[in-house]
Amino acid sequence: MEELELLLKQVYGTSLDPNLSQDIIQKIEQSKAGFPRYQAWSEQDVILITYGDSVLSDELMPLQSLHQFLREYLSGLVSSVHILPFFPFSSDDGFSVIDYYQVNYSLGDWTDVAKLNQDFELMFDLVMNHCSRQSLWFNDFVNGSGEGQDYFVESDPSLDYSAVTRPRTSPLIVDVYTRQGLKHVWATFSDDQIDLNFANPKVLLAFVDIFLFYLKHGARFIRLDAVAFVWKILGTNCIHLPQTHAIVKLLRWVMEQLDPNMVLITETNVPHQENISYFGEGDEAHMVYQFALPPLLLHALNRGNGHYLTAWARDLVALPKGCNYFNFVASHDGIGVRAVEQIIPKHEIADLAESVHNFGGFVSMKSNGDGTQNPYELNISLFDALQGTRTGSDQWQVERFLCSQKLLLSLQGIPGIYIHSLTATENDQLLVEQTGRTRSINRHRWDRQDFEKLLAQEHSSQALVFQRYRDLLALRKTITAFHPESAQRVYDCGDALFVLQRGDAPRGTNNSSRDGLLAVFNLTKYPQQVEHFAQLPQAYQSECEDLLSDEQVTLADYKLKPYQVLWLVP
């Protein structure tokens, strides 16, 4: 209770309601019965990211169809499923939530979620910063009565908002006609996504209740969507404020009262140092999204040059105890570039954006306070983004793409794999035309029969990628060096390569333990040898076994094929 009250004081200061901590404790106590006990994370943990309707079939509801597909093809290969927002919504493919407690009837119901949970652990989104304009809460605000009447941030449009960090180009302050007349409310992401007012402790209490409801309904992992923006103080940039960090700490505290092996993940698409601030001192998020990884890896493979990727990975700070990275290279959103604004030069980001355009994608922009705009996100399927390099398309798409996925599976942390990476999905231009949203390019909905027909075609992208990816996942589970907390060291062996050691190097050359591994990635379409060979641990300078090919490899005289990857053990 004392720790909770301290956190609440960091949020509300002297205006703290003395009953708030007791109200939160009561909600926790009411939720404790019947929780499963989770195991600590390990190399067995791989999370699949998917919408509830990513795999469709005529005879089943979408969540049932997804479950059947995952059980048949990925049982034992992925441990957890992140079902992107599956609640009733009005826009943004689920992230404009109308009702936090219901399953979207077009997807299924809570019974379908529970059945999926019998075979996989689950991740849910807690969309905290905003809710739908069509929600009952916002209806209360418009009517001036009911639970939500004071849940939103009213604003004066004549004030100066130029210091506010903007992730979008849409207006920050939007007009609302209410029974009390015209009002103006804060809308960080769109005029349909109205920001909630966490300065009102009733809003925090409401979200603690939703948080506990999700945990009760099978979520081992909770992703805090757009959490960086939840606290507003005019005159500041309104991002990463101390109150925001205190709210994250509070939610972690609530979670750990139930099970210390549940996992809180923050989604903060911002420059790298800001992103990892959500580890706090090991008392905030258990995991943060590794937002710098997707653009760095795409840039490296697009240029055949891993200079920035290697430098960034070598400088990653030691993780606080009990914390780790959620690694991903593709997701339902595009490839954000904010995380690398201080890593990759602007002109090279512009070059990357040009390649994305050439490969059929789009570039989303963000507004700056001075009226200018910068690239915010590259909207393209990762498989199509890797169809070539900055010189154009070539014959190496599949190998280049699989190189990206092997790197994802090798890094310290837990990998998050977007379903459309597994299925080698191409740009969905038709869906973009239908929705008018560029992000739809990477949100294809597979008809299961169509997918399986492609699997049966020997030279289809799906046939070339899907089974090889499944084999990779099966192999990875056997390698203890890929435990999320296993040590990581990066070596600079030339810009054409990325070289990563996981675990400790064996002291003797006759030790074939999988507790230590050296991963070597050729980032180019040309054969490459390892430079600066002598800096590598002695155990890897002798003959090694490559777990990916079952071949014996001596790096001193070995030449990697285009986009080849080695997982070496002595």
Instruction: Express each pLDDT in 291-316 by its tens digit.
Output: 999 999 999 999 999 999 999 999 99
Instruction: State what percent of residues in the chain have pLDDT above 90.
Output: 90
Radius of gyration of the chain (CA): 24
> Cα(80)–Cα(48) distance, rounded to whole angstroms?
6
> Cα(36)–Cα(120) distance, rounded to whole angstroms?
13
> Residue 247 phi/psi, 5° resolution?
-65, -40
Give kind and range of the element (H or E) at residue 416.
strand 414-418
pLDDT at residue 470, as a whole number: 98
Instruction: Express each pLDDT in 115-153 by its tens digit.
Output: 999 999 999 999 999 999 999 999 999 999 999 999 999
Question: Per-residue confidence at 369, pLDDT binned at 50, 70, 90?
Answer: low
pLDDT at residue 14, as a whole number: 84
User: CB–CB of 523/493 below 8 Å?
Assistant: no
> Residue 130 phi/psi, 5° resolution?
-155, 165
Residue 57 has pLDDT above 60, yes or no: yes
Instruction: Express each pLDDT in 257-288 by its tens digit.
Output: 999 999 999 999 888 899 999 999 999 999 99
Is 225 noted as a catalytic residue in this protein? yes
DSSP for 42-63 reads: -TT--EEEE-TTSEE-TTS-HH
Cα distances from 41 to residues 275, 276, 515, in angstroms, run: 22, 20, 16
Give kind and range of the element (H or E) at residue 468.
helix 461-476
Active-site hit among 112, 192, 225, 384: 225
Residue range 342-365: average pLDDT? 94
Residue 185 has pLDDT above 50, yes or no: yes
Return the DSSP state at 551.
E
pLDDT at residue 36, as a whole number: 80
Short-list 15, 17, 13, 20, CA closest to 4? 20
Question: Per-residue confidence at 509, pLDDT binned at 50, 70, 90?
Answer: very low
> Cα(274)–Cα(165) distance, rounded to whole angstroms?
13
Instruction: Express each pLDDT in 419-432 by its tens digit.
Output: 999 999 999 999 99
Instruction: Express each pLDDT in 58-99 by its tens digit.
Output: 999 999 999 999 999 999 999 999 999 999 999 999 999 999
Per-residue tokens: 32: 């404790």
pLDDT at residue 128, as a whole number: 97
User: CB–CB of 411/327 below 8 Å?
Assistant: yes
